[in-house]
Amino acid sequence: MTARPRILITRAIFPEVVQRLSEHFDVEANQADAIWTPAELAARLADKDGAFTTGSQRIDAALLAACPRLRIVANMAVGYNNFDVEALTRAGVQGTNTPDVLTETTADFGFALLMATARRMAEAEHYLRAGQWTTWRYDLLAGADIHASTLGILGMGRIGQGIARRGAHGFGMNVIYHNRTRLNAATEAQCRARYVSKDELLRSADHLVLVLPYTAEAHHTIGAPELAQMKPSATLVNIARGGIVDDAALAEALRQRRIAAAGLDVFEGEPQVHPALLDLPNVVLTPHIASATVPTRRAMADLAADNLIAFLGGRGALTPVNTPDAAPAHQRS
């Protein structure tokens, strides 16, 4: 009888998913949800064939060199900027992510954050709870309109398209977008979205939503010069990744009312949040929860598990992010 593959689950996940994986593999699970250092992660992965990761564990050349048996890392996230993809490929390790299953949920949240930001909902709730609501005022917590305004989207992948459809079809918004590659005409028509340059997007958007993947080139895509191009009445929403926005520059622009407001679900160095953002009234802050509904988190966990089961069962990954080199694992260095 051949030995069962061994896998490591790096964070606490649904017990039902741990159970399902245990039917296929010898599982070491971190159900206590300890946060391991890179050295602890490497020590636990050293004798494993597969890893279930959640997007916050860095998988790089140094780690892979310490894990000669490793053949697959399955991320429970659509973003995989925690992977050094080239290092995975060179080491002959398959990486996978969880696209599609979170698209609509994440687009819902992006739209909710846009509305909360433009209509000042967090500030309004705080005002009421603090007992400050004593009378009517003509401009009390007056915000920006969403219907019939111009929605700008930077990064027009699956989630960006979901936000565009919600804006165009649900709220009659004029949708413009910028992306590395322009969408085909049929997809643009479905989203009722018009392709523009990045400069035009910054200048014209009443609400700008960031949904691009985080790569080295995307670092500080929105910094002081870009914020200076935006309308003073504009709102900015980031549901992509921390690091795409220069948070210090954003805090300064919000403080000076260079732009009106921001809604942020992701932060540079999260779970730390730039202290200047915490002090501002015109920013809505949420703790990276855009995909967090119970059914969607379960679908993401199931898809990561399905990738491990299919790949280690010899059937190939379902949602691969790389094509690993066929180098034997012992050649890793």
147 labelled catalytic: no
Helix (H) or strand (E) holding 129: helix 121-129
DSSP letter at 7?
E
Nearer CB in complex with ligand 8YV: 250/266: 266
Q: Which amino acid is present at 74?
A: A
Q: Which of 229, 162, 159, 164 is nearest to 201 (CA)?
A: 229
270 labelled catalytic: yes
Binding residues for ligand 8YV, rule: CB under 6 A, are 54-55, 76-79, 102, 291
Beta strands in 213-329 (DSSP E): 235-238, 261-264, 283-285
- Catalytic residue, candidates 4, 203, 255, 288: 288
DSSP string, 70-109: --EEEESSS--TTB-HHHHHHTT-EEE---STTHHHHHHH
- Catalytic residue, candidates 241, 268, 297, 332: 241
Query: Least Å distance between CB 102 and ligand 8YV?
Result: 6
Query: Least Å distance between CB 16 and ligand 8YV?
Result: 17
Q: In angstroms, rounded to a whole number, what is the distance separating the alpha carbons of residues 280 and 261?
A: 10
330 labelled catalytic: no
* 175 phi and psi angles, rounded to 5 deg: -100, 125
Q: Which amino acid is present at 133?
A: W
CB 320 within 8 A of CB 99: no
- Catalytic residue, candidates 28, 200, 252, 270: 270
Sheet containing 207-210: give its strands across.
193-195, 174-178, 150-154, 207-210, 235-238, 261-264, 283-285
- Dig out the tokens for 291 from the structure: 């995909």
Nearer CB in complex with ligand 8YV: 78/201: 78
Q: Which amino acid is present at 176?
A: I
List residues with catalytic annotation: 241, 270, 288
